[in-house]
Amino acid sequence: MPTAQPSHDPSVAINVEGLGVQYSLKFTRKTTLRRSLTRNEKNVENGSDSKFWALHEVSFEVVHGESLAVIGPNGAGKSTLLQVLAGIITPTEGEIDIRGKVSSLLTLGAGFDQELSGRDNILLAGAFLGMSGREMAERMDGIIDFTDIGPFIDAPIRTYSSGMRARLGFSIATAVDPDLLLLDEVLATGDQVFRAKSQARVMDLVRAAKGIVLVTHDMNWVTEFCNRAMLLEAGRIVAEGDPAEIVELHRQHSADERANKAAEAARHLASAKMP
């Protein structure tokens, strides 16, 4: 992964400069004809017939003790950004400097062994994060208590619901004392009690000067628990700053987009009815 020039500011946890992720539109097993044609139509208009930028010219910093919410419409590049920060995707261009131990549900969820129990997967995840069996054993009871999934902790992961997996992943990711925590919609799962516990734990990490990057569609979480927000649209940063202001801008853009689509649909309907 390209590495940015280290910042001399010790408060900086993440420094991203000119980040770009480009995908080929050539057929793969995961590419449907309809998706490819749709993307090709859009990219031909932009002067490209084979590639598109999921992220382009993205630059930002996250300081220790900051909780950054990344918001935007579907397809804006939010999850791609987290995957780059987690080391899952190698960027096409740009530089990244990350300081400290990163914990992410993206990598933990992918690393779960479906045949092993939740308890065994806790130890496996600890090894994945570079922690010894003894360290994870010391954290085991606290992780299990936090998940609140009862006897399922000794059942194979393949029997878990998506919410139960999210609980386990979140409990592990936040129990290993990370310097940086990456979250993707995890707080949208579970009941209100677990969501409240999750929010409290994230705030504890922020108070302990940990850096948090959160992708979410929950605007209440953004305004109540994050101290900065960033709006992504079509792979680019549109605005960043005060959470309430960025949320309002996102809502305005979303309303404008819905109005434009409604007007376009009305024009098509009127055109179809003309003799």
CATH of the domain at 51: 3.40.50.300
Residue 202 placed within a domain? no
pTM of the full predicted structure? 0.77
Q: Give me the residue label for tokens 């006897």.
A: 151
Element (H, E) at 232: strand 228-233
pLDDT of residue 41: 47
CA distance 138 to 140: 6
Where would I find the H helices in the chain? 33-45, 78-85, 105-111, 118-128, 133-147, 162-175, 192-207, 219-225, 243-273
Residue 128 placed within a domain? no
Q: What is the pLDDT of residues 137-174, one digit of tens each?
A: 999 999 999 998 999 999 999 999 888 888 888 888 88
CA distance 61 to 7: 10
Residue 274 pLDDT level (bands cut at 50, 70, 90): low
CA distance 198 to 193: 9
pLDDT of residue 53: 93
Residue 68 placed within a domain? yes
> Comparing 112 with 254, which gets the higher pLDDT?
254
CA distance 98 to 91: 14
Average pLDDT of the chain to the nearest whole number: 83
Q: What is the pLDDT of residues 27-86, one digit of tens each?
A: 554 545 445 445 444 554 554 457 889 999 999 999 998 999 999 999 999 999 999 998
Residue 43 placed within a domain? yes
Q: Is 66 exposed, middle or buried (0-12, 13-18, 19+ CB in 10 A)?
A: buried
Average the pLDDT over 120-136 and give the result: 86
On whether the CB atoms of residues 88 and 247 are closer than 8 A, the answer is no
Average the pLDDT over 127-131 and give the result: 80
Residue 194 placed within a domain? no
Domain count, the chain: 1
Residue 248 placed within a domain? yes
Residue 171 placed within a domain? no
Domain limits for position 67 = 1-100+212-255
Residue 77 placed within a domain? yes
Residue 11 pLDDT level (bands cut at 50, 70, 90): confident
CA distance 248 to 182: 24
Side chain identity at residue 48, one-letter code? S
